[in-house]
Amino acid sequence: MAKTNKLSARKKDERVAAYIFTIPAIALLVAFLVVPMIYTVYYSVFKYQVMRPNDITFIGLNNYTKLFKDAEFWKALRNTFYFTIIVVPVQCVLALALALLVSKRFKGVSVFRTMYFSPQLTSMVVISVLWTVLYNSNPNTGLINSILVGFGLQPINFLTNAKTAMNAIIFMSAWQGAGYQMMIFLAGLQGIPKEQYEASSVDGANKWQQFWNITIPNLKGTIKYVIMITMIQAMKLFTQPYVMTQGGPKNATKTMVYYIYTQGFQKGNFGYACSVAAVFFVIVVAMSLILQKITNAD
């Protein structure tokens, strides 16, 4: 009986210790996520100018009515969806290909892993500035166009043409972000028992068959996770358009986050920006739930 009571008391102490250790995380979550969300919804029903904090007027759902009639809002939403739909599969496939490449044991493999992951260690602002120079339409300045001209081709206005600007940002973003997903895939690949590959080789399976029947099924959970985090990161696109194109040309690269920024901090329409942010939050949550349901479907 005494032993049982002692074990029960120990479990209770462990639960108390667990609760104590979670308090800082919960406090930070509430302070930097829950509270801002509440204030966002609150200010979304007001006409509120950042430069005039005392001039605040309750307008109900007028901000929401306005945004659904705003062509610039729909343009930003379409740009965000376009970027997400293209960059997620491209980046995930590239990351998986790199992970398969560096999962092999050969001399100098750690060098390649470092090279592929290194863009993640550099600030996105720095990378955006670097690629702005690479994309420069002047062949004397832009490296990519200088190579095209060297092959007798015409230079391309990557960032100043509405038809190519977003695609240029997508290419750069997939290159920069693939290293992080590569490391996640690499961890998943290293967790696959080698006996499965050896047994399949004995049965006469080739590399392609092993990939589809062993690698992909074992990476199912990892693939779901990578797709989810990549989608959420893609929806938050801001730095690249801000640095490289300022949302142009002709709003071709203006995304939802960049639109919220311009409305709230450049134009000072803080209440309207909050309403856009609230709607965008609902959209992201809905997309996450839909994606989760799709990926969990057998």
Residue 88, domain CATH: 1.10.3720.10
69-127 residue pLDDT tens: 999 999 999 999 999 999 999 999 999 999 998 887 777 777 878 888 888 888 999 99
Task: Look at the chain and count its residues.
Answer: 298
The pLDDT of residue 15 = 81
Is residue 38, in this structure, part of any structural domain at all? no
Report the chain's mean pLDDT, rounded to a whole number: 88
199-213 residue pLDDT tens: 888 888 888 888 899
High-pLDDT (> 90) share of the chain, %? 49
Torsion region of 206: left, alpha or beta (phi above 0 gives left; psi -120 to 50 gives alpha): beta
The pLDDT of residue 298 = 54
Counted domains in the chain: 1
The pLDDT of residue 159 = 93
Give residue 1's pLDDT band: very low, low, confident or very high (50, 70, 90).
low
Is residue 114, in this structure, part of any structural domain at all? yes
Is residue 155, in this structure, part of any structural domain at all? yes
- Distance of alpha carbon 234 from alpha carbon 215, whole angstroms: 26
pLDDT at 8 > cutoff 70: no
- Distance of alpha carbon 120 from alpha carbon 109, whole angstroms: 18
Which segments within the chain are labelled E, that is strand? 46-49, 52-58
Contact 264, 175 (CB under 8 A): no
Number of H helices, E strands in the chain: 15, 2
- Distance of alpha carbon 201 from alpha carbon 199, whole angstroms: 5
What is the residue range of 148's domain?
62-296
- Distance of alpha carbon 164 from alpha carbon 166, whole angstroms: 6
Task: Say whether 142 sits in a helix, a strand or coil.
Answer: coil
Is residue 111, in this structure, part of any structural domain at all? yes
The pLDDT of residue 125 = 93
Average confidence (pLDDT) over 245-271:
91
The pLDDT of residue 6 = 62
Helix (H) or strand (E) holding 49: strand 46-49
Is residue 40, in this structure, part of any structural domain at all? no
101-117 residue pLDDT tens: 888 777 777 787 888 88
Is residue 52, in this structure, part of any structural domain at all? no
Which residues lie across from 57 on neighbouring strands? Answer: 47
- Distance of alpha carbon 280 from alpha carbon 257, whole angstroms: 9
Q: pTM, whole model, 2 decimals?
A: 0.88
Is residue 225, in this structure, part of any structural domain at all? yes
Is residue 245, in this structure, part of any structural domain at all? yes
First-to-last CA distance in the chain? 49
Give residue 296's pLDDT band: very low, low, confident or very high (50, 70, 90).
confident
